[in-house]
Amino acid sequence: MGGPAIDIKIEVFQGSDESLEFYFFNPPSDGSTDPVDLVPVDMTNCTARMMVRPSPDPQATMMLSLAGGLGLSSASPTGIAFGAGTINPGPAVPAYDNGFTITVTKAQSLNMNGGRAIVAHYDLMIDWNNGTTSIWMRGTFQLSASVTR
């Protein structure tokens, strides 16, 4: 299963606990462009891993590593009101996981890059339940300075 390698900028602030949720949907097979018809990507039993480095070079120093249960967890949008009759109609809430929560702790953000702000690079790989692996997200990872500590 190939991944879309979606480019998404992630920003976290030094000294703050950050939790970011991402959910994934495919267009419907009938070609509809109505958001209500989007099909959630089934990520049941998938795992994810993510690394942050100061440059896109895989040999660059790793600044942060997250994996299933350690900063990355599967998620389904149970708290999001989708479907007919809502203010922002969208696809129905799936009965299975179709996303991931990325968690960066205060301690991790303060320890990254010697405590200095930086724009780094990341990618998030999905290990699918059929044994394949794909890069699902990638982009810049901005560690922003905070004045208050």
CA atoms within 13 A on the CB side of 89: 8
Cα(34)–Cα(149) distance, integer angstroms: 45
pLDDT recorded at residue 83: 42
> Residue 103 to residues 20, 32, 38: CA-CA distances in angstroms?
6, 34, 26
pLDDT recorded at residue 109: 92
Q: Please, are residues 71 and 104 in contact by the beta-carbon 8 Å criterion?
A: yes
pLDDT recorded at residue 3: 59
| Domains of the chain, earliest start first | 6-144 (2.60.40)
pLDDT recorded at residue 85: 44
pTM for this structure?
0.81
pLDDT recorded at residue 122: 96
Q: Which residues of the chain have pLDDT under 50?
A: 1, 79-87
The amino acid occupying position 91 is: P
pLDDT in tens, 103-126: 999 999 999 888 789 999 999 999
pLDDT recorded at residue 33: 81
pLDDT recorded at residue 1: 45
pLDDT in tens, 43-52: 888 889 999 9
pLDDT recorded at residue 141: 96
